[in-house]
Structure 1
């Protein structure tokens, strides 16, 4: 399996930026274990970078360096930051996508939710750094994924199968054009059409259980 694509820099996972490099040195100083690095980075992004909806952020971010600079982002932006931090350590990190309701029910429609896949101990694990507010309980786990959202049978919620090396381009375009939280609510994409870079059906069944 060629994992180089999950280590590359791009416009949104801009890990060579000074702010990302500095935070990486701070977080991972004297840490040698990739597992420990992944846990530290995940918990930092989950707990120390508030989700934009939770704080009604006035600044909309997309690329990792801006998420870190302004200390906020939606799930996609936070996933970019987590990927950037771990790619500085040559830890392959990708994106996974989930179709969920925008509100507690389907009254406001649906959106594409983003979380990360990290390759450590010769396997992919799934983590969701969205932020544990309002009863969410996403955790770092080397076994079963412990994500922020369960797929609910009464709604059309599901995972897009596979792992993507790059952010969801339509959502990135939306974020770059958004000026307010309301802009995101009104225009956030609700579908992924791109093919994943890695397909792994069995692991995604575990996410749904």
Structure 2
């Protein structure tokens, strides 16, 4: 039975793949390429390398908090969550199914955690494949090398974990963090998290 990918191809408020600027950029990135993997890799490289991560870019005067994919593209900056919204939008605009994934990572040694946003893209030769467009820096080296996953962060705390779902839309707490706070520093003080239920043994 064929899988229905429609929810991973449809535009929405925050993954606005039908926005003219998104469609134009998606077409530019796909130009001259053959095959979905090549197009997906170029979209990934663009978001990883050409869109600044908000926290890495925080010393710059023009660094608004972004959430909607078209705003991330316009301002060329965003937190990991916002960058994943842009990558999903570019992939969907190119007809490639894409969703949102999350990890839960320790912020410190005091038991505080936050979500980290990344993507899953469906490739015919590999199935669902996770990529992390957060942006590289010393100690962070994510890449598009299917079928190998090369994500931004290794687990360092016993509480670190992958959330297994592939979401078609951002989680509400992610949207809340990015839309209720005016500065990058305020978002950093209110990073989204999710409650995990204990596993029954």
Shared fold per TM-score greater than 0.5:
yes
Counterpart of 2:144 in 1: which secondary structure? coil
Q: Secondary structure in 2 aligned to 1:112?
A: strand
TM-superposed deviation, 1:30:
2.2
1:98 alignment partner in structure 2: 103
TM-score by length of 1: 0.86
Deviation (angstroms), 1:165: 1.2
Residues 117 and 163, structure 1, Cα contact 8 Å, conserved in 2: yes
Q: Give the equivalent residue in structure 2 for 1:119.
A: 122
Q: Is the 8 A contact 1:160 1:192 kept in 2?
A: no
Question: Which residue of structure 2 lines up, in the alignment, with residue 132 of structure 1?
Answer: 136
For the 8 Å contact 1:49–1:68, the answer to whether it is kept is yes
**Alpha-carbon offset, residue 131 of structure 1:** 0.5
RMSD of aligned C-alpha atoms?
A: 1.6
Q: Displacement of 1:173 after TM fit? A: 1.8
1:6 aligns with 2:8: yes
Q: In structure 2, do the counterparts of structure 1 residues 107 and 51 end up closer, same or farther at CA, with 3 Å as the change threshold? A: farther
Counterpart of 1:59 in structure 2 is 64
What is the CA-CA distance between 1:25 and the residue it aligns to? 1.8
**In the aligned structure 1, how far is the partner of 2:36 from the partner of 2:55?**
31
* Pair 192,114 (structure 1): closer, same or farther in 2 beyond 3 Å: farther
**2:50 is equivalent to residue 48 of structure 1:** yes
Correspondence for 1:184: 187
- List structure 1 runs of 4+ shifted beyond 6 angstroms: none
2:41 to 39, 42, 52: 39
- Which whole-Å deviations, capped at 9, do the CAs of 1:158-193 have from their partners, x for residues lacking one? 111121111122111221111112211221211167
CA distance in 1, matches of 2:158, 2:189: 20
2:73 pairs with 1:71: no
Unpaired runs of at least 5, structure 1? 194-209
CA distance in 2, matches of 1:3, 1:97: 19
What is the rounded CA distance, in whole Å, between the counterparts of 1:31 and 1:155 in structure 2? 42
* Among 167, 176, 179, the residue aligned to 1:173: 176
Choose between structure 1 and 2: higher helix proportion: 1
**Equivalent residue, structure 1, for 2:199:** none
Q: Does the CA-based 8 Å contact 2:142-2:151 persist in structure 1?
A: yes
Residues 27 and 94 of structure 2 are in contact (CA less than 8 Å); yes or no, is this contact kept in structure 1?
no
